[in-house]
Structures are given as structure tokens and as C-alpha cells.
Amino acid sequence: MTPNWKDPFWTNPADPHISTAAKTLIEGSTRPFYIVQNPAYSLVLKDNVWGKALNRIVVEQISPEQAADQAIARIKQIFDQWQ
């Protein structure tokens, strides 16, 4: 997209909203969401794996390590089913 960023539309100081957003994208470091790298992660988000782990820590008072281990096991299970 480098040629597009040279268009004056993106750097026009008269419109601070577009120029600020463009500056962030041009100069900043961006990275894609995990679901772009592996679509199985969308199922991890849908299943709310990490939210359920936090809930178990707070409500059921299990250790964070145990909740993390269970969440990681669930994530591995989702990824294995995806393949």
C-alpha cells in the first residue's frame, strides 16, 4: 500500500482525523489478529476459553496455573480438531 500513502488525501493536515490515523498506520507497527495466522483461533475466541479460565479462578477459586493449564489444553484440543 506504499503508493497509496503518498496520496495527499492521507496526509492533509486540514483533516486531522484521517492524517492522524494514516500516520499511525504508516509509522506504527501493526500486526494481524491471531485468527489471520490460524483460523482455528476464531473458535478459541468463540468458545471464550480465556474468559472461562478467569471465571474459574474467581468463582471456583482454582489456581491461575491450573486454569491456564486447562485453557491451554482446550486450545490444543480446538487446534487439533481444526486440522
pTM over 0.95: no
**Per-residue pLDDT tens for 17-36?**
888 888 887 787 777 777 77
Q: Cα dihedral sign for 10, 11, 15, 21?
A: positive
Question: Which pLDDT does position 31 carry in this prediction?
Answer: 75
What is the DSSP secondary-structure string of 28-64?
Answer: S-----HHHH-THHHHHHHTTHHHHHHHHHHHS---H
Q: Is the pLDDT of residue 3 over 90?
A: no
Tell me the percentage of the chain whose pLDDT exceeds 90. Answer: 47
Q: Could you tell me if 10 and 19 are in contact, meaning their C-beta atoms sit under 8 angstroms apart?
A: yes
Burial of 36 (C-beta count, 10 Å sphere; 0-12/13-18/19+): exposed
Question: Which pLDDT does position 69 carry in this prediction?
Answer: 98
**Mean pLDDT score across all residues of the chain:** 87
